[in-house]
Amino acid sequence: MACRWMSVCMGLLLLLVDPPNTKGEAVPTFQPATLSGSTHTPETDDDYVTSVGHVIALTCDDADESDHVTWSREGAPPLDTAVAGAEVRGGALWFLPADSSHSGIYACSRSDADPWRVSLRVDSGVCPGNTRLRFLQPHQSERLHCGQEHIFSYGANTHISWLKDCTPLNRSEDVLSVGARGSYTCLLHFSLDGHNYTSASTTQVLLEGADQLSKPQVIRPFNETRGVELGSRVELTCEALTGGDVLLVSWRRNGSLITNSTLFTVTERVPEESRVEKTLVISEVCVEHLNIPFQCWAENSLGQDHTHITLHAANQEAFYCLVGLAVSCGLLLVCVYLCWRCRVELVLLYRSLCPLRKQYDGKLYDAYVSYPSGNSVSMAMTFALRVLPEVLESNYGYKLFIRGRDDLPGEEVPSVKLCVMSSTRL
């Protein structure tokens, strides 16, 4: 075991001093967004950092394609190619691409070696966190290799672009010559199985020598926004470079320092002498936490630097569309039901608002009304002489021939044609 650890440390030291510069050389031990050996936590053998939407491959120590490797996630069953976004290639666990749900601790197992545990952190933003460190001699230049040789082995149609502090440099070579401190990110665009992907590797270049002090630099978060759900638990990590001096890192909201309370928990971690991480845990996101920047401040004797991250409510567009569709369907069904139940009233209302135009069809009357006569049928007379004329003639414009009202004594009985109501009127 001691010999194996010594071999691993020697390999990492050789990579930092003189990394491979050709595509035909052996695949390096670091992968896209892989932290250097000095950043390992006590709990894991290797640490990885990448951004959402980028490809990353977790390596299993020195395993190759001939080894039978089983990957598992802490607290979950073994992983296989059925896991969404994950694929095992050549003993490495690939995320095509990675998203925030992939953050966690993974372990690979082989029959001839002890389990190898690695951690993966997937952040939002364009540039991943610093993965490698290079120290630059004053007044000298340094050659940075894009690395990610495994991409050249599997991918095709590769294209490289460089960023400095997340700003494009308009450079596309494999090896970049730099002469100033900063965070340099190599974005490797490639095609794999007919799909286009992007992998990233970031190198932090610092000035050599303890006497080279500088202002601090916050490298994470990078003035970004994050969608969250109300009531959920959220972790915000601030990562800053010390500049070679004593560094004070803090979280602030509305200019006020955030300290430990029932809602907030602040923890600090120093993965190496030149970098400090401070994590803010919000146990339950409330409305007052939204749309207000949480600022990460880094201060030393030479100055200060700060960035922010803003929380906003997660996109609920699909939910609102579903609710709107359900309400619309319900209102439509109610309208159809009411129209069916009140169809007669609606027809009468329409006729009262839009009466039919009177058309001349050759008939003097629209209907002939007859009723029994005599004292015992006064109700029939009232209906025929008062109710019907009031409704049909006054309200709807029908012309009625009512026996006993419109006929004259001795007049001839109206013909049958007068007894037929016009079809256009009904």
The secondary structure of residue 319, as a DSSP letter, is H
- The tally of CA atoms less than 13 A away on the side-chain side of residue 312 is 7
Look up residue 393 and give its two tokens.
């003639």
Query: Alpha-carbon distance 83 to 95, whole Å?
Result: 10
Specify the pTM. 0.43
More confident: 281 or 151: 281
| Contacting residues for 152 by C-beta, under 8 A, at least 6 apart | 23, 158
- pLDDT, position 333: 92
Q: Which of 205, 178, 174, 206 is nearest to 187 (CA)?
A: 174
Helix (H) or strand (E) holding 331, with range, is: helix 317-341
> What average pLDDT does this structure show over 18-22?
39
- The tally of CA atoms less than 13 A away on the side-chain side of residue 233 is 5
CA distances from 201 to 28, 48, 85, 130, 244 (A): 13, 10, 20, 8, 24
Whether the predicted pLDDT of 5 surpasses 60: no
**Residue tagged 């050789």 (tokens):** 14
Helix (H) or strand (E) holding 380, with range, is: helix 378-382
Query: Alpha-carbon distance 163 to 62, whole Å?
Result: 30
pLDDT range class, residue 251, cuts 50, 70, 90 = very high
Query: Alpha-carbon distance 85 to 98, whole Å?
Result: 7
pLDDT range class, residue 264, cuts 50, 70, 90 = very high
Query: Alpha-carbon distance 351 to 297, whole Å?
Result: 76
5-19, 147-161, 218-232, 246-260: segment of lowest average pLDDT: 5-19
* Strands, E assignment, 342-412: 367-369, 400-402
222-240 in b/e form (b: 16+ CB < 10 A) is beeebebeeeeebebbbbb
Whether the predicted pLDDT of 3 surpasses 50: no
How many other CB atoms sit within 10 Å of the CB of residue 259? 10
- pLDDT, position 403: 77
Beta-ladder partners of 296: 251, 307
3-state secondary structure of 195: strand
Q: Which of 345, 226, 354 is nearest to 280 (CA)?
A: 226
pLDDT range class, residue 82, cuts 50, 70, 90 = very low
pLDDT digits (tens, 9 = 90+) for 184-217: 888 888 888 888 888 888 888 877 654 567 788 8
> What average pLDDT does this structure show over 354-383?
71
Query: Alpha-carbon distance 249 to 247, whole Å?
Result: 6
φ, ψ of residue 198 to 5 degrees: the values are -135, 130
Cα-to-chain-centroid distance, residue 187:
23
Query: Alpha-carbon distance 20 to 13, whole Å?
Result: 13
pLDDT range class, residue 329, cuts 50, 70, 90 = very high
φ/ψ region of 319 (left if φ > 0, alpha if ψ in -120 to 50, else beta) reads alpha
How many other CB atoms sit within 10 Å of the CB of residue 127? 23
pLDDT digits (tens, 9 = 90+) for 37-60: 333 444 677 778 888 888 888 878
3-state secondary structure of 24: coil
Question: Counting Cβ atoms within 10 Å, is residue 273 exposed (0-12), middle (13-18) or buried (19+)?
Answer: exposed
